[in-house]
Chains A and B, each alone.
Chain A
Amino acid sequence: MTRGSYRRRLLVERLMFGATIVAAAGTLSVLFFLLGYIAYQGGSSLSLSFFTHLPTPVGEAGGGMANAIVGSAKLLVAAALVGTPIGFLGGVYLAEYGRGPVTSSVRFAADVLNGVPSIVLGVTVYGLIVLPAGHFSTLAGGVALGLIMIPVTLRATEEFLRLVPDSLREASLALGAPQWVTIVRVVIPAGLRGIVAGILLSLARVAGETAPLLFTAFSNRYWSEGWLQPTASLPVMIFTYAIAPYDDWHRQAWAAALTLLALVLGANVLARLVLRRGIALGRAS
């Protein structure tokens, strides 16, 4: 160590640690400011009509985002239907059977998919689904969101299945169960908490995605029937209303942001709670 008084080194230590405390406090305070500001702006704009009315013509008051809330829910259902099976079963394969070049290339592909900006996914789905079909649709939007879900679900499934001890597998095989039964009835239930948490987190992530919806689900001023029509969604409405000049639309955008944030953060907290119970040897329930 250098010469120099011990007091000076202690001073440096206090200063630097103080700086790190400032950094941590600063980061936390940004979060609190963000949440608080959105809660304040959104809370003062929330009203029953926001949740129950359809959008009104430009300049007229009393509009709401009922169709956008339902639209977002439908998009999440479609995304889950697309993303969960692929991510989940893919993760099962990587964890239980995986070895060799196929596995590494699948893992690499999942990492690439995870890093692809969502706007690029929207452009691809536009070319592959919207153009051949001839119209925008909830389905196309759901597929785009599902693609985003795949890598997160896959990674979570693989990681949590890997954490299940081999002794469980060996015990099951020793009792005569075939491998697929071992996986389905022993390993997966054991890792289920983590997998559910992963699915919840990926759903929360795609709930807030806007860019891929711009060219796939488009938007809709009315209720969207079924799966083959364009649909309104909370993130797209926030974007559309935020860049417009109408104060009423701004208020609705804040209300929508608060709603979306509450859902997304709630799902995150739920996922962590599920995880925190531990990767327990789950009971069949």
Chain B
Amino acid sequence: MRRRRIWIGWTVLAAALVTAPGAYAAQLINGAGATFPYPIYSKWFDEFHKKYPDAAINYQSIGSGGGIRQVLEGTVDFGASDGPMTDEQLAQAKVPILHLPTVLGAVVATYNLPGVEKLKLTPEALAGIFLGKITTWNDPALVKENPTAKLPAIPIVPVHRSDGSGTSFVFTDYLSKVSPEWQKSVGSGTSVNWPVGIGGKGNEGVTGLVKQTPNSIGYVELVYALQNGLPYADVRNRAGRYVPPTLASVTAAAAAAAAKMPEDFRVSITDPASADAYPISSFTWLLIPSRIPDKAKGDIIKQFLGWMLSDGQAMTTPLNYAPLPPAVIDMERRAIDKITVGG
């Protein structure tokens, strides 16, 4: 009998320990979505938590498709996506969803080709590789633009996203603009019917696959290639120049759009006309409901957004994201003020 009491005692104690809130009583806010900006978001949320320990923003990078879906179903407090929501998706929302841009980033073509440090790709070549029309690295189309590179006669392994992805949206949006065949047979979206290639989950998964698979090429956000020491290609833009993805070239891509930013911030900046622009750049957005019933959560979200537009923007360049253009920041502050909080 005594042994049973001891067992019960331990169980109760364990349950209490496991359930007790403890000294850590922060307000938890859940967000999910894009893997594209995950490196800067995880830095931001960590720094914000250090500055305001009462606020804990738990962001899970599950892909833009997941962010859109979960914010529509209301299972997270906010979403994130680099593919703007379509009108049909917006219509499904119970509360109107705002797109608030956070940073600018570049989608780069990263590859695993030992011995080839620099690759130059035309838009047609990129489309051809992912359409399955260009199958080996020493294809004439590639050799023509890269005469000095040691391109082997080995099949190319394209790597794409297996999950719903804003990065995929940006990449396929670009390919649809530069390749009529791509536009006709595949189209653009967060999930498409890829003609060839293997699938990785998240920017993380694609980077991992490219890193481990020789002769592969995938599309990822710039930071992922940099953080993992993977080379990436220069892409020829509409003006005919080969532009590497840098902070300057990404900012140049956004310049024209920033001047005439629509009210809802949904804009695509792929394939811009500017000569200095990197052609596969994109804004990335936080998907915030315009009415947040929970006052505590709403206040923290608005506070974070304000912090993000001031202190947060200063943290972008060390992580190789481009900050937002000043005109966009001003517009966004006005939009944030319109978010209503509380019942």
Contacts and interface: CB of A to CB of B under 8 A. Distances in A.
Interface of A: 56-59, 70, 73-74, 77, 130-131, 134-136, 218-227, 229-230, 240, 243-246, 284-285
Interface string B19-52: 1011011101010100000110011011001000
Interface stretch (B204-212, B241-249, B278-286, B325-333): B204-212
B227 interface: yes
Interface of B: 1, 3-4, 14-15, 18-19, 21-22, 24-26, 28, 30, 32, 38-39, 42-43, 45-46, 49, 56, 58-60, 73-76, 200-202, 204-205, 207-208, 211, 224, 227-228
Given A221-B45, A225-B28, A285-B4, A230 B21 contact: no
B58 A245 contact: no
A245 B19 contact: no
Contact of B43 (A57, A131, A136): A57
Contacts of B1: 284-285
Given A58-B39, A134-B75, A246-B227, A74 B46 contact: no
Contacts of A134: 74-75
Q: List 7 A-B pairs, minimum CB-CB distance, nearest first.
A: A244-B204, A245-B207, A57-B42, A245-B208, A222-B56, A58-B39, A243-B205
Contact of B46 (A56, A220, A223): A56
B24 A243 contact: no
A220 to B, nearest CB: 5
A245 B206 CA distance: 8
Contacts of B3: 285
A135 B75 contact: yes
5 contacts: A136-B30, A221-B58, A222-B56, A243-B208, A245-B211
Nearest to A76: B18
A82 B263 CA distance: 50
B58 A230 contact: yes
B21 to A, nearest CB: 5
Given A73-B18, A223-B24, A225-B25, A58 B205 contact: no
Contacts of A284: 1
A74 B75 CA distance: 21
A243 B58 contact: no
B121 to A, nearest CB: 22
Contacts of A226: 19, 21
B284 to A, nearest CB: 15
A243 B200 contact: yes
A77 B18 contact: yes
A136 B25 CA distance: 19
Residue from A57, A74, A130, A246 having most chain B Cβ neighbours under 10 A: A57
A221 B44 CA distance: 13
A222 B18 contact: no
Nearest to B14: A77
A226 B28 CA distance: 11
B4 A245 contact: no
Contacts of A136: 30, 75-76
B59 to A, nearest CB: 7
B43 A58 contact: yes
A285 B59 CA distance: 49
Nearest to B47: A57
B193 to A, nearest CB: 22
B264 to A, nearest CB: 25
Given A59-B39, A222-B28, A246-B204, 13 more contacts: A57-B45, A57-B46, A58-B42, A73-B18, A77-B18, A226-B19, A230-B30, A243-B200, A243-B205, A243-B208, A244-B204, A245-B227, A245-B228
B59 A245 contact: no
**Max chain A CB contacts within 10 Å: which of B14, B39, B42, B224?**
B42
A148 to B, nearest CB: 20
Q: Which of A77, A135, A224, A225 has the most CB of B within 10 A?
A: A225
Given A59-B39, A131-B73, A243-B200, A70 B18 contact: yes
B203 to A, nearest CB: 9
B113 to A, nearest CB: 17
Nearest to B229: A245
A223 B75 CA distance: 19
A135 to B, nearest CB: 6
Contact of B15 (A56, A59, A70, A77): A77
A134 B75 CA distance: 5
A130 B58 CA distance: 17
A243 B26 contact: no
A226 B39 CA distance: 28
Nearest to B228: A245
Contacts of B60: 218-219, 221, 230
A223 to B, nearest CB: 5
Contacts of B204: 240, 243-246
